[in-house]
A = this chain, B = another copy of it.
Amino acid sequence: MTKEQELTHNSLPCEKCPLRKRNIFRDFEADELDFVGRFKKGDLAVKKGATVLVEGAHNPHLYTVLSGWGFRYKLLEDGRRQIVNYVMPGDLVGLQGSLLGEMKHSVEALSQMVLCVFEKAELFSLYRKFPELAYDITWIASREECMLDDNLLTVGRRTALEKVAYLLVFILERSRQSGLTKNGTLSITQQHVADTLGISVVHTNKTIARLMERGHVKWEDGGCRILNPEALAELAGWTAERAGKRPFL
Contact = CB atoms under 8 A, between A and B. Distances in A.
A72 B150 CA distance: 12
Contacts of A158: 76, 80
Count of chain copies: 2
Contact of A152 (B131, B139, B142, B152): B152
Contacts of A148: 145, 148-149, 152
Interface residues of A, number: 45
A7 interface: no
B144 A145 contact: yes
A184 interface: no
A64 to B, nearest CB: 16
Interface string A222-249: 0000000000000001000000000000
A139 B84 contact: no
B143 A141 contact: no
Contacts of A142: 95-96, 99-100, 141
B146 A100 contact: yes
B76 A153 contact: yes
A233 to B, nearest CB: 13
Nearest to A97: B142
Contacts of A151: 152
Contacts of A77: 237
A82 B156 CA distance: 7
A84 B128 contact: no
A104 B146 contact: yes
Contacts of A138: 95, 99, 127, 134, 137-138, 141
A105 interface: yes
A155 to B, nearest CB: 5
Q: Closest 10 A-B residue pairs measured CB to CB?
A: A156-B198, A127-B131, A148-B148, A141-B141, A82-B153, A80-B157, A82-B156, A128-B131, A99-B142, A74-B153
